[in-house]
């Protein structure tokens, strides 16, 4: 190179006849430029292929690494994938062996270094270009929990796309499952998990059996409902079995009653017979005064006249002649009476029931279908359960619990405002509170005893003996005055058939109470509370938690419907008044509060409006605007569930 530069300098100083030489000299740097471009292009292509092989090897090795344990099989898998994507000698590179390691938990690192021989630049002393790559693979493996809060209200029976909304929802849930199935399999191969919980909701939720299984003390054993009591104030008299006493009665000159001891009065035998066979005599009464029946006979064992015993008997004062002493056997049967009291009328009011047996898995209660019979004391009142056990002869029904609940105590201070702070008295909205008193326990729904009254204060009662129009079960089931959706399911791993069978059982009925659905969605996915099923970490890996909330309508609120908060016009737990002022606004604020609480649990919330626009409450419930969407038809709903599944289950290569 020094000699070349010396010659080039000489040529520059000698300007005579050297054009050819200058041109020849200029070719040298041009050749260097072209040669470097060729070799660098080859190097770029080789490194790109090398990097791709590195990425594939690290990802493959990471996928087979189980329980975060680096093994020979992990290394061999990485080597195989590297060699497949970059065979030895590719681009004429020098032989090399990739190094595969686990630098930190959950990460596989692949490092490779080789040299690419130059084709042109070796003329100028550049014999090879070094190539090296490093890549880390972390498959973003995280445990994943998904709780589906699903609107199964009456409008979900509406037709859409030649089918029904509920059918589209079933398909959408299965589309989500299918989208996440590969992720579930991958997680399980790593000792991790993907779980689903489901909360079908309408005007209440079906979680009672789950609560009992977790802790029977979570449910009330004495529960008050808007019901009725039977009043027993109408007196009546019950005859006791008669008692009889017998004795001799002696003729004393009267055709009526005789004397208790013998007299000298006499009768002929025919006259004596007539007297002995006198008709029975009723006395006493009326009830409740004792009544008597006095009957006569010849002896204590024979009602017929017996001349030897009744007329001139041995030892009588007069035993001879045509007129002799006369006697007869007198029997007095006495009937006494007990006073009893019959049904008078019904009083409709708040009534306490013993639900200790009703809440048991195999339990039930017996209630009377009507009133009747008698009781021993005046002023007695009986609820339908007491009526069945205390009064005999009534028709009864055995009632078992379907699992739906009424919420625990709350406060009327949530008045529809803008605050998202949950008051301490709102036990229903505290998803992490473990029951410790009746105020914090759930009530079993018992529609069979619920009779609604007109609006009024908590002490208001209605008395009457005929009206049963307020019985909640008198209304047709499809009107939704009382609805109990399918039983919810806590977080668990599902196989496809089991999930398909479950969603096939979802049936639409009832009103739309978003707050109760979201309360239980948050409760199911929380890491604390009565279940504590959610997780922050499982098997040394973090947990991602999601709530997918789907509805086909806006919040509703009814005054005279049996819901998770009882019958509002009588129980008044939400509004504090039987006229239900601003009830809808109050439930909407509860929904906003529980959505905010769920997101504060580090839960990602997705909201889907199906064939309905999302209002500010629903949009604001989602974790961000991208996670709130509307699906106008069944196909769009299925696509949205699948899209959410894709985002939840994405496995990424981290470098």
Over residues 422-438, the pLDDT tens digits come to 999 999 999 999 999 99
For the stretch 281-312, pLDDT in tens is 999 999 999 999 999 999 999 889 999 999 99
Predicted pLDDT at 210 = 99
For the stretch 603-638, pLDDT in tens is 999 999 999 999 999 999 999 999 999 999 999 999
Identify the CATH number of the domain in which residue 490 sits: 3.40.50.410
Phi/psi of residue 149, each to 5°? -100, 110
Question: In the predicted model, what is the mean pLDDT of residues 256-281?
Answer: 94
Between the CA of residue 123 and those of 31, 165, 292, 390, 523, what are the distances in Å?
Answer: 10, 75, 145, 113, 74
In a domain, residue 94? The reply is yes
Whether the per-residue pLDDT at 30 is higher than 50: the answer is: no
Count Cα atoms within 13 angstroms, Cβ side, for 165.
Answer: 22
Predicted pLDDT at 38 = 65
Residue with the larger pLDDT of the pair 441 and 236:
441
In a domain, residue 47? The reply is yes
In a domain, residue 363? The reply is no
Q: Which residue has the tokens 């990602």?
A: 604
Q: Which residues contact 221 (CB under 8 A, 6 or more apart)?
A: 354, 355, 356, 359
Count Cα atoms within 13 angstroms, Cβ side, for 612.
Answer: 20
**DSSP state at residue 237:** E
SS3 call for 501: helix
Distance CA 206, CA 204 (A): 7
Predicted pLDDT at 6 = 56
Beta bridge partner(s), residue 544: 144
Question: In the predicted model, what is the mean pLDDT of residues 271-286?
Answer: 94
Grade residue 492 by pLDDT with cuts at 50, 70 and 90.
very high
**DSSP state at residue 438:** G
Question: In the predicted model, what is the mean pLDDT of residues 60-67?
Answer: 84
CB atoms near residue 526 (< 10 Å): 21
Is the same domain home to 83 and 156?
no
Distance CA 259, CA 601 (A): 99
Owning domain of residue 85? 25-137
Q: Which residues contact 225 (CB under 8 A, 6 or more apart)?
A: 350, 351, 353, 446, 449, 450, 566
Is the same domain home to 116 and 61?
yes
Grade residue 255 by pLDDT with cuts at 50, 70 and 90.
confident
Predicted pLDDT at 455 = 65
Grade residue 3 by pLDDT with cuts at 50, 70 and 90.
low
SS3 call for 451: strand
Between the CA of residue 434 and those of 274, 424, 427, 447, 590, what are the distances in Å?
Answer: 89, 14, 10, 26, 20
Is the same domain home to 528 and 638?
yes
Question: In the predicted model, what is the mean pLDDT of residues 52-59?
Answer: 92
Distance CA 406, CA 177 (A): 31
Predicted pLDDT at 400 = 98
In a domain, residue 488? The reply is yes
Last residue of a domain, one of 79, 107, 137: 137
Distance CA 475, CA 468 (A): 11
Between the CA of residue 497 and those of 174, 177, 241, what are the distances in Å?
Answer: 10, 11, 68
Strand 541-551 relative to strand 604-610: parallel, antiparallel, unpaired?
Answer: parallel
Q: Which among 129, 157, 143 has a CA at the least distance from the CA of 47?
A: 129
Last residue of a domain, one of 137, 165, 188: 137
Is the same domain home to 290 and 175?
no
Per-residue exposure over 44-66, b if at least 16 CB sit within 10 Å of its own CB, e if not: eebbebbbebbbbbbbbbbbbbe
Q: Which among 603, 484, 606 has a CA at the least distance from the CA of 149?
A: 606
Is the same domain home to 546 and 644?
yes
In a domain, residue 325? The reply is yes
Whether the per-residue pLDDT at 268 is higher than 90: the answer is: yes
Q: Is residue 644 within 8 Å of 177, Cβ to Cβ?
A: no
Q: Which among 583, 578, 508, 579 has a CA at the least distance from the CA of 550?
A: 508
Distance CA 262, CA 281 (A): 22
Is the same domain home to 29 and 149?
no
Report the alpha-carbon angle 396-402-404, nearest 5.
Answer: 125
Is the same domain home to 131 and 155?
no
CB atoms near residue 2 (< 10 Å): 6
In a domain, residue 11? The reply is no
Q: Which among 404, 5, 403, 25 has a CA at the least distance from the CA of 202?
A: 404
Joined tokens for residue 500:
């398909």
Supply the DSSP string of 458-492, one letter for each residue.
TT--EEESS--TTBGGGS-GGGTSB---PBPEEEE
Distance CA 182, CA 100 (A): 26
Predicted pLDDT at 342 = 94
Is the four-CA dihedral 64, 68, 70, 72 of positive or negative sign? negative
Distance CA 211, CA 163 (A): 35
For the stretch 174-206, pLDDT in tens is 999 999 998 999 899 889 999 999 999 999 999
Task: Locate all alpha helices (DSSP H) within 247-345, ordered by sequence.
Answer: 269-276, 307-310
Q: Which residue has the tokens 């010659």?
A: 7
Predicted pLDDT at 194 = 97
Report the alpha-carbon angle 319-325-328, nearest 5.
Answer: 125
Between the CA of residue 642 and those of 168, 229, 325, what are the distances in Å?
Answer: 13, 54, 115
Q: Which among 275, 279, 276 has a CA at the least distance from the CA of 294?
A: 279
Is the same domain home to 182 and 122?
no
In a domain, residue 476? The reply is no
Of the chain, the percentage scoring pLDDT greater than 70 comes to 90
Task: Locate all alpha helices (DSSP H) within 506-576, ordered by sequence.
Answer: 514-525, 568-571
Q: Is residue 327 within 8 Å of 251, Cβ to Cβ?
A: yes
Q: How many domains does the chain have?
A: 3
Mean pLDDT computed over every residue of the chain: 91
Q: Is residue 253 within 8 Å of 246, Cβ to Cβ?
A: no
Supply the DSSP string of 179-236, one letter for each residue.
HHHHHHHHHHHTT--EEEEEEEESSS-B-HHHHHHH-GGGB-SEEEEEEEEEEEEEEE
Is the same domain home to 51 and 128?
yes
Is the same domain home to 52 and 194?
no
Per-residue exposure over 474-502, b if at least 16 CB sit within 10 Å of its own CB, e if not: ebeeeebbbbbbbbbbbbeebeeeebeeb
Question: In the predicted model, what is the mean pLDDT of residues 525-543?
Answer: 95
Whether the per-residue pLDDT at 35 is higher than 50: the answer is: no
In a domain, residue 452? The reply is no
For the stretch 395-426, pLDDT in tens is 999 999 999 999 999 999 999 999 999 999 99
Is the same domain home to 641 and 558?
yes
Last residue of a domain, one of 335, 358, 393: 335
Predicted pLDDT at 507 = 97
Is the four-CA dihedral 515, 520, 526, 529 of positive or negative sign? positive
Question: In the predicted model, what is the mean pLDDT of residues 64-69?
Answer: 82
Whether the per-residue pLDDT at 559 is higher than 60: the answer is: yes
Is the same domain home to 115 and 167?
no
Predicted pLDDT at 11 = 53
Q: Which among 440, 214, 454 has a CA at the least distance from the CA of 349?
A: 454
Predicted pLDDT at 103 = 93
């Amino acid at each position: 190179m020094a000699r070349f530069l010396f010659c080039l300098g000489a040529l520059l100083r000698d300007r005579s006849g050297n054009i050819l030489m200058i041109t020849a000299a200029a070719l040298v740097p041009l050749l260097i430029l072209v040669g470097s471009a060729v070799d660098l292009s080859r190097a770029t292509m080789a490194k790109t292929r090398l990097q791709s092989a590195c990425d594939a090897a690290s990802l493959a090795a990471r996928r087979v690494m189980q329980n975060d344990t680096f093994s020979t099989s992990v290394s061999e898998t990485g080597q195989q994938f590297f060699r497949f994507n970059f065979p030895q000698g590719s681009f004429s590179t020098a032989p090399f062996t990739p190094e595969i390691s686990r630098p930190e938990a959950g990460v596989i690192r692949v490092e490779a270094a080789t040299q690419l021989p130059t084709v042109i630049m070796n003329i100028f002393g550049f014999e090879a270009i070094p190539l090296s790559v490093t890549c880390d693979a972390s498959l973003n493996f995280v445990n994943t929990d998904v709780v589906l809060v699903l609107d199964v209200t009456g409008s979900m029976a509406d037709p859409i796309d030649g089918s029904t909304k509920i059918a589209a929802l079933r398909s959408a849930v299965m589309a989500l499952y299918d989208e996440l199935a590969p992720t579930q399999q991958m997680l399980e191969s790593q000792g991790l998990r993907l779980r689903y919980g489901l909360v079908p909701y309408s005007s209440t939720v079906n979680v009672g059996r789950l609560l009992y299984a977790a802790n029977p003390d979570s449910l009330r054993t004495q529960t008050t409902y808007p019901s009725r009591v039977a009043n027993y104030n109408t007196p009546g008299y019950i005859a006791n079995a008669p008692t009889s006493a017998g004795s001799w009665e002696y003729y004393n000159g009267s055709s009526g009653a005789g004397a208790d001891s013998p007299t000298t009065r006499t009768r002929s035998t025919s006259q004596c017979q007539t007297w002995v066979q006198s008709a029975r005599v009723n006395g006493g009464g009326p009830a409740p005064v004792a009544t008597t029946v006095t009957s006569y006979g010849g002896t204590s064992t024979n009602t017929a006249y017996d001349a030897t015993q009744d007329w001139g008997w041995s030892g009588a004062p007069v035993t001879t002649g045509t007129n002799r002493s006369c006697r007869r056997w007198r029997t007095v049967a006495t009937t006494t009476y007990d006073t009893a009291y019959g049904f008078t009328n019904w009083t409709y009011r708040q009534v306490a029931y013993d639900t200790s047996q009703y809440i048991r898995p195999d339990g039930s209660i017996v209630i009377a279908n009507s009133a009747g019979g008698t009781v021993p004391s005046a002023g007695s009142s009986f609820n339908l359960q007491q009526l069945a056990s205390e009064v005999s002869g009534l028709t009864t029904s055995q009632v078992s619990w379907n699992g739906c609940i009424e919420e625990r105590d709350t406060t009327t201070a949530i008045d529809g405002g803008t605050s998202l702070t949950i008051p301490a008295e709102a036990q229903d909205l505290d998803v992490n509170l473990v029951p410790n008193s009746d105020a914090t326990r759930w009530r079993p729904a018992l529609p069979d005893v619920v009779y609604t009254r007109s609006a009024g204060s908590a002490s208001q009662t209605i008395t009457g003996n005929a009206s049963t129009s307020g019985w909640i079960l008198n209304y047709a089931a499809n009107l939704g005055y009382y609805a109990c959706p399918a039983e919810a399911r806590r977080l668990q791993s599902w196989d496809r058939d089991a999930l398909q069978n479950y969603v096939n059982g979802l049936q639409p009925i009832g009103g739309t109470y978003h707050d109760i659905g979201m309360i239980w969605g948050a409760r199911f996915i929380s890491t604390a509370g009565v279940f504590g099923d959610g997780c922050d970490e499982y098997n040394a890996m973090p947990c991602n938690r999601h709530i997918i909330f789907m509805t086909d309508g806006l919040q509703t609120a009814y005054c005279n419907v049996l819901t998770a908060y009882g019958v509002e016009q009588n129980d008044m737990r939400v509004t504090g008044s039987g006229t239900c002022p601003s009830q809808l606004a109050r439930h909407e604020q509860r929904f906003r509060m529980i959505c905010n609480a769920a997101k504060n649990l580090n839960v990602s919330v997705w909201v889907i409006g199906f064939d309905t626009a999302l209002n500010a409450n629903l949009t604001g419930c989602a974790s961000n605007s991208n996670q709130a969407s509307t699906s106008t038809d069944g196909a769009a709903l299925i696509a949205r569930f699948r899209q959410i599944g894709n985002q939840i289950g994405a496995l990424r290569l981290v470098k």
